[in-house]
A = this chain, B = another copy of it.
Amino acid sequence: MRKVLMALLLLPLMATAQTVTSPNGNVEVKFSLDNGRPTYEMTYKGKAVVKPSHLGLELVKTKHASKGMEETDLMDGFTVTDTQTSTFDETWKPVWGQTATIRNHYNEMAVTLNQPASKRNIVIRFRVYDDGMGLRYEFPQQNELNYFVIKEEHTQFAMAGDHTAWWIPGDYDTQEYETVESKLSEIRGLMKDAITPNSSQTPFSPTGVQTALQMKTADGLYINIHEAACVNYATMHLNLDDKAMVFESWLTPDAQGTKGYIQTPFNTPWRTVLVSDDARDMLSSNLILNLNEPCALDDVSWIRPIKYCGVWWELIVGRNTWSYTNEYPSVRLGVTDYKNSKPNGTHGANNENVKKYIDFAAANGLDEVLVEGWNEGWEDWAGHSKFDVFDFVTPYPDFDIKMLNDYAHSKGVKLMMHHETSSSVMNYERWMDKAYKLMNQYGYDAVKSGYVGDIIPRGEHHYSQTMNNHYLHAVKEAAKHHIMVNAHEATRPTGLCRTYPNLVGNESARGTEYEAFGGSRPDHTVVLPFTRLQGGPMDYTPGIFETKLDTWSSNPSYVHTTLVGQLALYLVMYSPLQMAADLPEHYEKYMDAFQFIKDVAVDWDDSKYIEAEPGDYITVARKAKGTDNWFVGGKCDENGHKAVVKLDFLDKGRKYECTIYADAKDADYETNPKAYAITKKTVKKGDTLKITEARGGGFAVSLMAK
Contact = CB atoms under 8 A, between A and B. Distances in A.
9 nearest A-B pairs in the assembled complex, by CB-CB distance: A457-B457, A255-B255, A255-B459, A147-B384, A256-B459, A146-B330, A146-B329, A261-B385, A256-B458
A627 interface: no
B64 A383 contact: yes
A457 B261 CA distance: 12
Determine chain A's interface SS by DSSP, over half rule: loop
A460 interface: yes
A258 B458 contact: yes
Contacts of A261: 384-387, 458
Interface string A321-339: 0000000111010000000
A293 interface: no
A186 interface: no
A430 B473 CA distance: 10
Nearest to A264: B330
Contacts of A19: none
Contacts of A146: 329-330, 380, 384
A466 interface: yes
Interface string A183-213: 0000000000000000000000000000000
Interface residues of A, number: 37
A261 B422 CA distance: 15
Given A64-B385, A66-B383, A256-B459, 4 more contacts: A146-B330, A255-B459, A263-B386, A459-B459
15 contacts: A146-B329, A146-B330, A149-B385, A255-B256, A255-B458, A258-B458, A261-B385, A261-B458, A263-B330, A263-B386, A426-B426, A430-B473, A456-B466, A457-B460, A458-B466
Contacts of A332: 263
Contacts of A264: 329-330
A469 interface: yes
A253 to B, nearest CB: 10
A263 B381 CA distance: 12
A688 interface: no
Interface in A117-132: none
B330 A147 contact: yes
B330 A384 contact: no
Contacts of A469: 387
A424 to B, nearest CB: 11
A142 interface: yes
Nearest to A464: B458
Interface in A414-441: 426, 429-430, 433
Which of A64, A143, A429, A459 has the most chain B CB atoms closer than 10 A to its own CB?
A459
B263 A426 contact: no
Contact of A458 (B66, B143, B254): B254
Nearest to A457: B457
A384 B63 CA distance: 9
A26 interface: no
A459 B254 CA distance: 9
A557 interface: no
A320 interface: no
